[in-house]
Amino acid sequence: KTETMLFEKAPSRARRKVKDGDIIVSTVRTYLKAIAPISSPPENMIVSTGFAVIRPKEGLHAGFAGYLLQSDGFVGEVVANSVGVSYPAINASALVRIAVAVPPLEEQQAITRFLDYKTAQIDVLIRNQKTLLDKLTEKRAALISHSVSKGLDPLVPMRDSGVEWLAQVPEHWSVKRLKNVATYNDDVLDEQTDPDLEIHYVDISSVTLTKGI
């Protein structure tokens, strides 16, 4: 997606101009495979200098070029020709030296029409699958919530818990504050901890409700 802003407030890396039919290829952290065709861009669309802007010449169909540069084989070559370990990057000269197969223009157009049709079908299936996954995620959450607050026996007598979010609970269950059944652990590593100690770190972005860690 794009973000609208005044040029004076744009990041210093927001400099590369693009137009309809271009393909942008990330030249940094190439393992992320950030490659995308530009189609009907808004006026004055600018991309980061972290992208190489590939503009098809006469004889190379823009649609075909978009698919070509997103293909596994081409992406693999981009990654293979990148330099650096933690922050791999490819320079423009190395990028444009990558060899590609170029069929006749008429065949390029036919391939593009075929891929447009087939990928559109697949995209619909993906959206439907995403809807199904969302529903299953909701069902999973509801199943957990019901089981831990109502139990497994649908016929068990219930009583008012006195807690708004719990509402009714099984009559034989107790209701206690979390601090009465668990502790808040605030243990931290001492500042004098051996700097060579190997640790396994988990940050917030590493944890999800459905997948855990």
Model confidence, pTM? 0.63
Sequence-separated (6 or more) residues with CB below 8 Å from residue 75? 33, 35
> How far is 34 from 75, CA to CA, in rounded Å?
9
Q: What is the pLDDT of residue 109?
A: 95
pLDDT at position 15 over 80: no
Q: Taking all residues of the chain, what is their mean pLDDT, rounded to a whole number? A: 84
> How far is 147 from 154, CA to CA, in rounded Å?
10
pLDDT above 90: percentage of residues in the chain: 27
pLDDT band, very low/low/confident/very high, at 190 (cuts 50, 70, 90): confident
- In three-state secondary structure terms, 35 is strand
pLDDT at position 209 over 70: no
Q: Report phi then psi at 44, rounded to 5.
A: 60, 40
Q: What is the pLDDT of residue 155?
A: 94
Left (φ > 0), alpha (ψ -120 to 50) or beta: where does 65 sit?
A: alpha
- In three-state secondary structure terms, 36 is strand
- In three-state secondary structure terms, 175 is coil
The helix (H) or strand (E) run that includes residue 52 is strand 51-54
Sequence-separated (6 or more) residues with CB below 8 Å from residue 144? none
Q: What is the pLDDT of residue 213?
A: 56
Q: What is the pLDDT of residue 128?
A: 93
- Distance spanning both ends of the chain, measured CA to CA: 28
Q: What is the pLDDT of residue 11?
A: 67
CB 65 within 8 A of CB 101: no
